[in-house]
């Protein structure tokens, strides 16, 4: 049985101007967050399928990086901005 380890980072998505921006950030702060990508906010507002596609791509980017570093496929837990 494999041991589950909670990673100290998260995918953080936030509105910045007219863009929806994805960052790799520590669990409780945006200090030192790494920019991953951005999409025009109008697209995610008007096309929910594109919003989900953007999230899926950003999650996959993180999964590839984690697997490359650890050799293991990560399991993601979805939480809102307050961590609930």
pLDDT averaged per 10 residues, the chain (length 84):
74 96 92 95 96 95 87 79 54
* 43 touches 55 (CB < 8 A): no
- Nearest Cα neighbor of 80 from 11, 5, 25 is 11
What is the model's pLDDT at position 82? 59
Domain boundaries, the chain: 9-70
What is the model's pLDDT at position 84? 40
What is the model's pLDDT at position 81? 67
Question: How far are the Cα atoms of 46, 73, 74, 81, 84 from residue 2, in angstroms, in the given order?
Answer: 41, 12, 12, 29, 25
What is the model's pLDDT at position 5? 73
How far apart are the C-alpha atoms of 74 and 64, rounded to whole Å? 9
Residue listed under structure tokens 């909670």: 6
């Amino acid at each position: 049985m494999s041991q589950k380890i909670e990673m100290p980072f998260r995918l953080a998505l936030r509105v910045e101007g007219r863009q929806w921006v994805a960052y790799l950030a520590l669990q409780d702060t945006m200090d030192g967050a790494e920019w991953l990508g951005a999409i025009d906010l109008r697209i995610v507002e008007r096309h929910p399928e594109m919003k989900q596609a953007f999230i899926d791509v950003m999650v996959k980017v993180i999964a590839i990086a984690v697997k490359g570093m650890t050799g293991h496929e990560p399991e993601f837990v979805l939480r809102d901005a307050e961590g609930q």
